C-alpha cells in the first residue's frame, strides 16, 4: 500500500499500520513484519492499550481478490470456532485487505499438547457440517477453491479438489498427459477408492504442520481452507509434511472417534489434492510425489 491517493487495485490509501488504525479507530503503537507468503504480508501489532494482534495484509492483488481471500479465511475461522471443539484464534477484524486475529504466543509442542489437539480435532470433525463444501468462495494460498454444496463426498472431492488443479497444472505444462490420465483414473474410480461413506465433517482443509500453531498446551488451527469434507483429508495433510508427535495426535483422535477400516491405505488419495495444489503453485518439482500418491491411491483402494 502507499500513503496518499488510491492504492493499487483500488484499495484504500495508507500503510498497513495506518489502515489498521483507521479500521479499528484506535492508535497502533507498533507494527512489526514477521514474514508472509502467497502475496500476503504478516505483522505483529501492538495497540495503544497493549492488546496484541496478528495482522495479515494482501497488497499485491486486485482489491476484490484480496478482500475475498481474507474474507474466506475469516469465515472459515469463525465457522470452525462455532463448533466449540477445537482451539481457533478469535477474529478481531476482517475488513477489505486486512485480517487481524488475537495474538497467540507460540510454544513448543509436547505429548500432552498433541493428545489434546487430537481429541479436539476429533470433536471438531464430529460436530459436522450441513453439506460437503461451504457457503463461501474458498481459497488455498492464492488459488480458488470451488465450494459448491453436495451430499456425497467422493464425487465432490473428485470434481472440486482433484480435476480443477489437474487442469491448471496441465495448462501450465507442469503435469504431462500421462500424469493427468493417471489422476483421471483415480477420479473415475473415486467411489470405490474412497472407502465407506461418511457424513460431512467440519474440516480445516489445509492442515499441514505450519497451520497448527502450538500455544497454551494445545494446537490452534490457523489459515484454514475450511469446508464440509471428509475427515481423513485433514489427517492425510498432517501426515504429508509431518507433524511433531503425530502418533500421539492420531492415538488421541481414535479414542474419541475411531477411523473407518482402511483409512491408512487411503492417505495417498487424500494427499492428492494438496500435492496437486503444490504442483500448481510451485511447479513440476512436485509432479513425482503426485504421481506416486495417485498410484498408491489406486492400489490402496
The set of catalytic residues is 206
At residue 68, the 3 state secondary structure works out as helix
Per the CB < 8 A criterion, the answer to whether 270 and 236 are in contact is yes
C-alpha to C-alpha distance for 297 and 266, rounded to whole angstroms: 6
3-state secondary structure of 176: coil
Q: Which residues lie closer than 8 Å to 66 by C-beta, 6 or more apart?
A: 9, 11, 39, 58, 59, 96, 97
Nearest to 206 by CA among 114, 121, 274: 274
User: How many CB atoms neighbour CB 240 within 10 A?
Assistant: 20
8 A C-beta contact, residue 31 and residue 16:
yes
**Residue 153 grid coordinates:** 463426498
Which is nearest to 145 in space by CA: 224, 87, 36, 46? 224
Contact 16, 98 (CB under 8 A): yes
Beta bridge partners of 53: 45, 102
Q: Across the strands, what pairs with 145?
A: 138
CA–CA separation, 12 and 107 (whole Å): 36
Amino acid at each position: 500500500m502507499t500513503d496518499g491517493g488510491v492504492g493499487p487495485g483500488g484499495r484504500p490509501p495508507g500503510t498497513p499500520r495506518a489502515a489498521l488504525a483507521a479500521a479499528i479507530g484506535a492508535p497502533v503503537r507498533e507494527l512489526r513484519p514477521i514474514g508472509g507468503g502467497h502475496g500476503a504480508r504478516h505483522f505483529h501489532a501492538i495497540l495503544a492499550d497493549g492488546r496484541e494482534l496478528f495482522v495479515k495484509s494482501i497488497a499485491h492483488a486486485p482489491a476484490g481478490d484480496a478482500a475475498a481471500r481474507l474474507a474466506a479465511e475469516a469465515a472459515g475461522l469463525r465457522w470452525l470456532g462455532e463448533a466449540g471443539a477445537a482451539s481457533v484464534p478469535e477474529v478481531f477484524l476482517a475488513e477489505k485487505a486486512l485480517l487481524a486475529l488475537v495474538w497467540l504466543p507460540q510454544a513448543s509442542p509436547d505429548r500432552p499438547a498433541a493428545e489434546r489437539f487430537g481429541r479436539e480435532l476429533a470433536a471438531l470433525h464430529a460436530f459436522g457440517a450441513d453439506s460437503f463444501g461451504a457457503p463461501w468462495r474458498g481459497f488455498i494460498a492464492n488459488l480458488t477453491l470451488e465450494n459448491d454444496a453436495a451430499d456425497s463426498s467422493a464425487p465432490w472431492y473428485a470434481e472440486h479438489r482433484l480435476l480443477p488443479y489437474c487442469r491448471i497444472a496441465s495448462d501450465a505444462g507442469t503435469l504431462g498427459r500421462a500424469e493427468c490420465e493417471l489422476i483421471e483414473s483415480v477420479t473415475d474410480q473415486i467411489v470405490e477408492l474412497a472407502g465407506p461413506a461418511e457424513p460431512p465433517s467440519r474440516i480445516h482443509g489445509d492442515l499441514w504442520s505450519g497451520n497448527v500453531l502450538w500455544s497454551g498446551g494445545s494446537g490452534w488451527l490457523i489459515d484454514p481452507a475450511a469446508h464440509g469434507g471428509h475427515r481423513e483429508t485433514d489427517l492425510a495433510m498432517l501426515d504429508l509434511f509431518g507433524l511433531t508427535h503425530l502418533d500421539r495426535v492420531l492415538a488421541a483422535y481414535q479414542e474419541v472417534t475411531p477411523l473407518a477400516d482402511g483409512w491408512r491405505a487411503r492417505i495417498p488419495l487424500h494427499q492428492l489434492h494438496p500435492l496437486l495444489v503444490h504442483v500448481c503453485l510451485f511447479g513440476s518439482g512436485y509432479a513425482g510425489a503426485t504421481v506416486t500418491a495417485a498410484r498408491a491411491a489406486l492400489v490402496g483402494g
